[in-house]
Chains A and B, each alone.
Chain A
């Protein structure tokens, strides 16, 4: 259970996220949508305790500000947008890093059989078993994105924050990823909060949606109640619904 109250944050004294409040219940997923630069990523970074913020973030009745960093990381994991990879760790070793807080051997940091099994199950979930001994520098963008997702899953958090998780993924993996995340949330009674570029995938991921523009909330609640043609057009400044209808028609013509 995650509650955000009056959260404002930004960079260099300029607020990019302004006075945002919302609530995500257990077993609920949330998609955050909005145009580029609207503050979606910044909001996630504040919740993940990477950026300092004003306001309150509360998880299971406890304020994040009162928790130790390690305890926050046990609850919240974040899949960031991909940055450069410089060092050639193996896929397996990279995913094992997600077990950092779970590994009991604090002196040498050697994983137990349980940790190893958990990592294997995460690799299986994102379909990377075959390449698990490869160096991550040899992978395609899509494979790498799945490695980082597996590492996020390996943290076994209560809440997963995803920053455009389907970037770099082809259609098959986009759909499979969203399906998997939904299943993962239901089966483990956990929460996924995703910043999504693709509105279709956003609707697929969650029953709830948060629409942002210029750092403010333009709509929040059940997807079918919030999303309207007018709202999307106001936020994205193009006729989104009309475009999607036209795409569908074009698709049907192409198919014959």
Chain B
């Protein structure tokens, strides 16, 4: 009995250590993200700038105004945005994988990015904007179209299959995605002169974003992630299959709707601002499950931390490797993510 108890404590302690390491790693990467670039800003100076701007502390003399503006107006918002987007996308991916019991499922397979791309096409290619909203037209329409697509997909799937089987949802998502993508392609074929901008949007980028984006996105991401954490037990049970979850008392259809739409909203609101960024949502949850086990009370919050960290790193690579110009961050994350994912997924299969 005592030995078993000791083992439980050991497992819990190991978990605590791993969580602490992950959080520390995240902080280090964020500091690197803010510090690295054309000019190196050490952590002490970053801290001084933040205190100066947030708490009104006097700035030490050795910090130049240039450093203040580099940290405060350029790198800090950009790094935080990358972190928030990475966190939101990863949590969204973890939910999709568990709810649909498919390791390859994501908001993208269900059509969120296709819908958002269509919106981007309308705004960028045809210059159609919503009156009074101006530059906010693209994010808002991207969000509405992205979420709208997945709502249509789920509604359609539940219409043709009352039990909302996972395969029906995934197939419906793929059909809708293909259709919506075709519409976007047709539109861009007609308006080639603006095609380049659309392609850049589709590749994703964190540049040219300021604090206002964070003020909008951070609350959405935070509320969405916390709301999903609240469903951690239902997520655990749903991995055993719908029938088993249902007999254990989960109100399956309702919970499934809520989780899919919340996850899609996380993805939709993120890509609405920064464009399509793939693979982090696929990769981060798989790695987190490998390291921390499969319980969603760990998987969800740690996917957020890990995914955020990964995204900051990708953005760091994207903007420093070929500086002063930039690589599209979506391409960087896929470049790093795809082989890594192949290793995790196919490596495991080869061993079994």
Contact = CB atoms under 8 A, between A and B. Distances in A.
Given A133-B7, A133-B8, A100 B237 contact: yes
Given A97-B233, A109-B233, A80 B249 contact: no
Contact of B248 (A83, A100, A108, A133): A100
B339 to A, nearest CB: 23
A49 interface: yes
B295 interface: yes
Contacts of B249: 69-70, 73-74, 100-101, 155
Interface in A76-106: 76-78, 80, 83, 85-89, 93, 97-98, 100-101, 103
Given A97-B236, A100-B233, A100-B237, A89 B247 contact: no
B185 interface: no
A89 B243 CA distance: 18
A107 B294 contact: no
Contact of A93 (B7, B236, B248): B236
Given A88-B294, A133-B7, A133-B11, A48 B247 contact: yes
B246 A69 contact: yes
Given A89-B294, A109-B232, A97 B237 contact: yes
Contact of B247 (A78, A88, A132): A78
A230 B91 CA distance: 61
Contacts of A50: 243, 246-247
Given A107-B230, A133-B8, A77 B237 contact: no
Contacts of A133: 4, 7-8, 11
Contacts of B246: 49-50, 69, 73
A80 B294 contact: no
B15 to A, nearest CB: 12
Contacts of A98: 248
B243 A80 contact: yes
A27 B23 CA distance: 55
Interface in B246-271: 246-251
B293 to A, nearest CB: 7
B101 to A, nearest CB: 7
A93 B246 CA distance: 18
Contact of A73 (B162, B241, B248): B248
Contacts of B289: 87
B268 to A, nearest CB: 26
Interface in A106-134: 107-109, 132-133
Interface string B7-30: 110010000000000000000000
Nearest to A154: B248
Contact of B244 (A49, A80, A87): A80
Contacts of B293: 88
Residue from B230, B233, B246, B251 with most neighbouring chain A CB atoms (10 Å): B233
B239 interface: yes
Contact of B101 (A76, A77, A86, A101): A86
Interface string B297-319: 10000000000000000000000
A37 to B, nearest CB: 19
Nearest to A110: B297
A88 B348 CA distance: 14
Nearest to B244: A80
A77 B247 CA distance: 6
A85 B239 CA distance: 8
Interface in A31-55: 45, 48-50, 52
Given A93-B295, A109-B233, A133-B4, A86 B239 contact: yes
Nearest to B1: A129
Nearest to B241: A83
Contacts of B232: 109
A45 B241 CA distance: 14
Contacts of B236: 89, 93, 97
A132 B3 CA distance: 13
Interface string B129-168: 0000000000000000000000000000000001000000
Residue from A86, A107, A108 with most neighbouring chain B CB atoms (10 Å): A86
Contacts of A48: 247
Contacts of A74: 249
A97 B245 CA distance: 9
A182 B139 CA distance: 62
Contacts of B295: 89, 93
A221 B244 CA distance: 30
B77 to A, nearest CB: 32
Residue from A49, A85, A109 with most neighbouring chain B CB atoms (10 Å): A109
A93 B239 CA distance: 13
19 contacts: A45-B243, A48-B247, A50-B247, A52-B162, A69-B246, A69-B249, A70-B251, A73-B246, A76-B247, A77-B247, A85-B240, A87-B294, A88-B294, A97-B240, A98-B248, A100-B233, A100-B248, A100-B250, A101-B249
Interface of A: 45, 48-50, 52, 69-70, 73-74, 76-78, 80, 83, 85-89, 93, 97-98, 100-101, 103, 107-109, 132-133, 151, 155
Given A45-B243, A80-B247, 7 more contacts: A78-B247, A89-B239, A97-B233, A100-B248, A101-B248, A107-B230, A133-B4
Instruction: Give 9 nearest A-B pairs by CB, closest first.
Output: A73-B249, A87-B294, A101-B249, A109-B233, A78-B247, A87-B239, A100-B248, A70-B249, A97-B237
